Structure 1
Amino acid sequence: MPSLAFDNQVAIVTGAGGGLGRCHALELARRGARVVVNDLGSAVDGSGASISAAQAVVDEITAAGGTAIANGDSVATEDGGAAIVAAAMDAFGQVDILINNAGILRDAAFKNMTAEQFDAVIAVHLAGTFNVTRAVWPVMREQNYGRIVQTSSGTGLFGNFGQANYGAAKMGLVGMMHVLAIEGARSGININAIAPIARTRMTEGIMGEAGKALDPELVTPVVVYLSHRSCDRTAHIYSVGGGKVSRVFIGQTKGIEDADLSAESVAEAIDRIDDSSSYTIRGGP
């Protein structure tokens, strides 16, 4: 198979100052893309800001002969999202790829979770993805082309203790993906999602010893493929980590039909309703 190249294409990668985003930015640049390396430069909980992390990745790219610019705007505001896209347009005149990767953690058991902890995570992961995607949407529609990758999570898809805020945001990204796949189809815009399992600054305190085999570099190949012009998938979710890649999908069981449905008939038929031996996959071709 020929190499997947990105010559003459422009990519925005949010949260690219380290971890997964850094790996995505470096590999896209190595393959010829011009990259906007966005990172607020904050701590894992979202506090603080510095352009140094983004600039360090840009320095890596340029030292290897690639082209990139650093951007320190926050995805968590409408103005920040617009500024990220404007930086790409001012520097390169187009945006072909958007990798929505920026994120923070504010973990707490639900009984201890505050509204501030919930809102802060939603603001970066879910609203942040909306802000940047909304700003780039008219650009992609005008050029009749675009590739967008959402960074979801197993926490959103399957659940994880102490991350109700994170899980809500990450599953929200899946819902956004399904809608945008429908709306973007006529404009050549494909949007997919990954649920990565990787050792990063955000996850190293959670993973412990298990994280040693989960290099973030092993997630990037899926992101690169989903970002490429040859990728015809849209509204697909891929779990990826440690070299394993699998599709996660939403399925609907055969269920039952009962014109006289009652609580009692549901209780009696619940095993047949839940039976997943026969199902229909929903979302994506």
Structure 2
Amino acid sequence: MSGICEGRVVVVTGAGRGLGRAHALAFAAEGARLVVNDLGVRLDGGTPGPESPGTPGTPAARVVAEIRAAGGTAVAHHGDIATPEGAASLVTTALDTYGRLDTLVNNAGFLRDRMLVNLDEDDWDAVLRVHLKGHFLPLRHAAAHWRAETKAGRPPAARIVNTASGAGLLGSVGQAGYSAAKAGIVALTLVAAAELARYGVQVNAIAPAARTRMTERAFATAMAAPATGFDAMAPENVSPLVVWLGSVASDGVTGRVFEAEGGRITVMEGWRPGPTADKGARRSPAEAGETVLELLARAEPPGAVYGA
């Protein structure tokens, strides 16, 4: 195989199904060698069924088999990347198997949707753990390797692609924990891009919309693939952007967030200063309120919260 990722070693977390699987297959089609990570858990992160890690029936093993059947190279990783041990072994698997690591795609996640008044602390913690901590730990371990490579005189052309969400940019009714975690991933992306640039690491994030088991409820009215024509909700539509961001072709692109859905790619511009007023002295509460109302009258209205 040859392509824009020829010879690169790519790790994709949560790659047993949905977007992660599509990313792994797309990277392999462009010549990358893969580490396919997936725990094989249920949608809510619960214990998987009778399949056990290491058997041919695990989601990660099935994706590895697909890649190999197409002539590509891949190995499975079944560790929990939201633990220090699992994240460390993820990077070690790439280094031990291929001798290098070039691209990390953080994609793993699950859902435990509740309205705020019904949201248990355990569910909040679980969602923050797998999404936000599950991004931080692999990123930290990969970054430590790339820093060591740079200090040894072998600066990498490394790439990290994080997975945010429109829920993290605008909020989503019934998804407080998920929205908070995805917003945190955006901030983590910006910080990592600034801190890791000196080590040859570019860090970007995507906010994808596609048909996966995580979006069955959110996209209930648009889930069915059309009988003919372009299937705008197919997860494979998002992967070309991820592959490009994970390749050397994306040189110079870092600290950015992209929405991707169907054939559409949007550069998200984030928080920027809007209308402002400086009195040069302390205001009374009434004056502060007056100023706020005047500024809001000149400001762009916020985007609608998903599901509102």
Q: TM-score when scaled to structure 2? A: 0.86
**One-letter amino acid matched to 1:72:** H
User: Which range moved further: 256-265 or 50-59?
Assistant: 256-265
Which residue of structure 1 lines up, in the alignment, with residue 105 of structure 2? 99
**One-letter amino acid matched to 1:47:** G
User: Structure 2 CA distance, aligned partners of 1:104 and 1:96?
Assistant: 26
Which residue of structure 1 lines up, in the alignment, with residue 260 of structure 2? 240
User: Structure 1 CA distance, aligned partners of 2:110 and 2:199?
Assistant: 32
Which residue of structure 2 lines up, in the alignment, with residue 282 of structure 1? none
User: Structure 2 CA distance, aligned partners of 1:273 and 1:217?
Assistant: 43
Which residue of structure 1 lines up, in the alignment, with residue 244 of structure 2? 225
Unaligned runs of 5+ in 1: 278-285
Q: Could you tell me how far 1:265 is from its partner in structure 2?
A: 3.0
Q: Could you tell me how far 1:271 is from its partner in structure 2?
A: 4.5
Alignment partner of 1:64 out of 70, 73, 78: 70
Which residue of structure 1 lines up, in the alignment, with residue 174 of structure 2? 162
Q: Could you tell me how far 1:268 is from its partner in structure 2?
A: 1.9
Aligned residues: 275
8 Å CA contact 1:256, 1:272 repeated in 2: no
Deviations 1:95-128 (A, max 9, x none): 1100000001010000000010000001100011
Q: Could you tell me how far 1:230 is from its partner in structure 2?
A: 2.0
Secondary structure in structure 1 of the residue aligned to 2:143: helix
8 Å CA contact 2:113, 2:174 repeated in 1: yes
8 Å CA contact 2:3, 2:31 repeated in 1: no
User: Structure 2 CA distance, aligned partners of 1:127 and 1:17?
Assistant: 19
Compare the two structures and name the one with the higher helix fraction: 1
8 Å CA contact 2:162, 2:205 repeated in 1: yes
8 Å CA contact 1:35, 1:68 repeated in 2: yes
Secondary structure in structure 1 of the residue aligned to 2:273: strand
Secondary structure in structure 2 of the residue aligned to 1:56: helix
Deviations 1:220-277 (A, max 9, x none): 1111111111212111111111211111122211412221141333322224534347
Which residue of structure 2 lines up, in the alignment, with residue 281 of structure 1? none
Asked if 1:147 is matched to 2:159, the reply is: yes
Correspondence 1:112-131 to 2 at 5 A: 112-131=118-137
Which residue of structure 2 lines up, in the alignment, with residue 44 of structure 1? 43
**One-letter amino acid matched to 2:212:** T
Deviations 1:172-203 (A, max 9, x none): 00111111111111111110111111110111
User: Structure 2 CA distance, aligned partners of 1:265 and 1:92?
Assistant: 64
Q: TM-score when scaled to structure 1? A: 0.92
Asked if 1:186 is matched to 2:198, the reply is: yes
User: Which range moved further: 12-21 or 256-265?
Assistant: 256-265
Deviations 1:112-156 (A, max 9, x none): 000100000011000111111111112222242310011001111
Q: Could you tell me how far 1:83 is from its partner in structure 2?
A: 1.0
Alignment partner of 2:184 out of 172, 184, 197: 172
Q: Could you tell me how far 1:215 is from its partner in structure 2?
A: 0.7
Q: Report the RMSD for the aligned CA atoms in angstroms.
A: 1.5
User: Structure 2 CA distance, aligned partners of 1:96 and 1:252?
Assistant: 36
Secondary structure in structure 1 of the residue aligned to 2:258: strand
Q: Could you tell me how far 1:4 is from its partner in structure 2?
A: 5.4
Asked if 1:199 is matched to 2:218, the reply is: no
Runs of 4+ residues over 4 Å off in structure 1: none
Unaligned runs of 5+ in 2: 225-231, 301-308
Alignment partner of 2:235 out of 216, 219, 225: 216
**One-letter amino acid matched to 1:172:** G
**One-letter amino acid matched to 1:228:** S
Which residue of structure 1 lines up, in the alignment, with residue 280 of structure 2? 259
Which one scores higher on RCO, CA 8 angstroms, separation ≥ 6?
2
User: Structure 2 CA distance, aligned partners of 1:272 and 1:29?
Assistant: 54
Aligned residues with identical type, % of pairs = 43
User: Structure 2 CA distance, aligned partners of 1:272 and 1:247?
Assistant: 30
Which residue of structure 2 lines up, in the alignment, with residue 283 of structure 1? none
